[in-house]
Homo-oligomer: A and B are copies of this chain.
């Protein structure tokens, strides 16, 4: 095996002193599962399975050096004991009620931490039903003026920081998928966006107001939904100006996670792909929201990009030039939060002979998303302390539709994303990157 000689010196990373506030717009199934899991882990009742920041090791140097520390012992992450939680929600009054309504966690897990959860009260949300037709918001800010909404959120953030004595904050969007939209004139520059806020421009969605408020407050923003949010020219400009890390979009949880395993596997073996049909059934609030075609469109676009990006049909027209890719989501109440996917994959091999792979994934949406929220909170905070700003492409590992930091599109291949994440950390800490060639 050969090893890359480090090209960069280690970067300076400020230490993780004091408390880190984690703010989630949306305090429903995902956020409450995330919070409960961190509390339970702190109390020694649970293992934060799925979290690289807590559980994964990272190999350093040559194989025979036998250096394989935990990531959290290698890079200076905030400690779980230093996290405090807050958020906004149009429906849930607090994290306990949110968790009980979601029905993800069993009572035996919620019981021991119920008082703590109940104390995490949701702030009134910036909410507009035009973007999420299937939900009725009752705990919402009274003003419908967008500029005033932004100011209210900025005040919320500042008040939270003071009340909780936070050294630093991060924001992770855990709210609903909004109706589909494409970037429009108002999203082009900071100037046009701020003018739009003042003019109450219809094209500005609530998630964008949260993103704006976060960045203006110097708070890193990670986007767990397929909403445009920070994937807009004005937000990139703002993040650069304010020196704030941003990342998105759309947590890569169940079906798309599997897709970014399987598609690279097909390509590794030069097996052809003729079609991929994916259907999902879920019965939670998310499923209800996505039952509306406008909101589904947003999700669909996020989900459809994966295959082309991984398979490079332009390089491999014989193998990947004629792929029918269909993605469906159906609201099916009996399933509750247990999203279930069924994928039919039509492949072909030697001399074009067809084969089929069917994958049935009985997953739990929030259980898969919660550790992503934790990792993003800690890694975005790390990036911030490391002086990074703008799009954190090394976190594409966590996203269905990763934002690129440069004009070159971001990678979707889960294994390349993982390599990128780990080699970025190695690089920041002055360690060599790893290759796997024969010489090693």
Residues of A within 8 A of B (CB): 2-8, 33, 36-37, 40, 46-52, 55-57, 63-64, 68, 104-105, 109, 257-258, 261-262, 264-265, 268-272, 274-275, 277, 279, 281, 315-316, 318-319, 324, 326, 328, 330-335, 340, 342, 344, 346, 348-353, 355-364, 366-368, 370-371, 393-394, 397, 408, 411, 414-416, 418-420, 423-424, 426-427, 433-439
Contacts and interface: CB of A to CB of B under 8 A. Distances in A.
27 contacts: A2-B4, A2-B433, A36-B351, A49-B271, A51-B350, A55-B270, A68-B315, A105-B351, A279-B330, A279-B342, A281-B326, A324-B333, A326-B330, A326-B331, A334-B346, A335-B346, A349-B364, A350-B371, A353-B367, A355-B364, A356-B362, A357-B360, A357-B361, A357-B363, A359-B360, A393-B438, A434-B435
A359 B362 contact: no
A275 B423 contact: no
Given A5-B4, A367-B350, A371-B350, A411 B427 contact: no
Contacts of A51: 270, 350
Given A5-B5, A433-B2, A46 B270 contact: no
A436 B416 contact: yes
A352 B48 CA distance: 8
A37 B368 contact: no
Count of identical protomers in the assembly: 4
A50 B265 CA distance: 11
A96 to B, nearest CB: 16
Contacts of A434: 435
Contact of A350 (B50, B315, B408, B416): B50
Given A57-B315, A436-B416, A353 B364 contact: yes
Q: State the 6 A-B residue pairs at the shortest beta-carbon distance, nearest first.
A: A275-B334, A423-B437, A261-B265, A433-B435, A424-B438, A415-B415
Given A5-B4, A6-B2, A437-B433, A414 B351 contact: no
- Identify which of A353, A357, A363 gathers the most chain B CB atoms within 10 Å of its CB: A353
Contacts of A46: 351-352
A407 to B, nearest CB: 10
Contacts of A331: 326
Contacts of A359: 357-360
B344 A340 contact: yes
Contacts of A7: 2, 439
Given A257-B269, A415-B415, A426-B437, 17 more contacts: A2-B4, A2-B8, A4-B4, A4-B433, A4-B437, A48-B350, A51-B270, A275-B332, A281-B344, A328-B328, A335-B346, A342-B342, A350-B367, A355-B367, A357-B363, A420-B436, A423-B435
